[in-house]
Structure formats: structure tokens, C-alpha cells
Amino acid sequence: MSSFPWTFSPSEFACKCGGDCEPDMDRIRHLAWVLHAIRERTGGPIRVNSGYRCPEHNAKVGGVANSQHVQSRAADIVVDGANPRDVAAIINMMMIEGEIPNGGIGNYSTFTHVDIRHKPARWDG
């Protein structure tokens, strides 16, 4: 896929199980668009720690059964040089302002979860 949007690579969203599982690429493209907007707002490179997870890998890493990761709608990200809680606050503001769709934001000590579910969800991990 040479024309993947906004300088993200499909491999950044691939399941880390090592198998041949396939995410929903339309959802991944939408997620990449959201991450691109977040990158533009924060001004820093974004590293995707976890994108799509097949159900087996999701269970192995302790994810909930109905995880947005399994549905190709989530990424756990790190913005270089930024505190994850600050990143979550920026994403929340972008959602409130309508810059990106309102979805899920999880605050964790080493990363920020962002997803494109169809309703707001906020939590601390």
C-alpha cells in the first residue's frame, strides 16, 4: 500500500501477533487521519505502540473482549517529548472543538489511547 495517508505506514497499525490477521483498512485509514490531525496540533512525531489487535493477541495482552483495537478503531500512542496526560488533554480539546470525531481517550502513565468509536469515552488506566 504505497498510498497510505498522512505519512503513516500500514505496518504501524499491524497486529503484533506475527500472524496474517488483517485489520479493517477503511477504519485504519480514518484512524490515521485522526492521528495526523493530532500530530499537526501537538507538533511532535507520533509513535503507535499498539494499533489493530486480533482477538487472540488482544486477550494475550489483557485487552477487554470488545476492545476498539480489535475493531481497527484504536491506537495507543506516544508523542515524542510530550507527557501522555497533556496529549490526552489536547485530544480532548480537539474532540470538543470538532476538529476530530469524538471518541475514546485513555490516560496512561506511558502512552495515550485514542479511538474512533462513535461516542465519547474517557478513562484513566
pLDDT in tens, 56-90: 999 999 999 899 999 999 999 999 999 999 999 99
What is the separation of C-alpha 73 from the centre of its chain, rounded to a whole number of angstroms?
7
Beta carbons within 8 Å of 33's beta carbon, 6+ residues apart: 5, 6
* pLDDT tens figures, 99-121: 999 999 999 999 999 999 999 99
Pairing status of strand 112-115 against strand 121-124 = unpaired
Pairing status of strand 121-124 against strand 74-79 = unpaired
Question: Where do the domains of the chain lie, and which CATH numbers do they carry?
Answer: 5-124 (3.30.1380.10)
DSSP, res 57:
H
Q: Considering the entire predicted model, what is its pTM?
A: 0.93
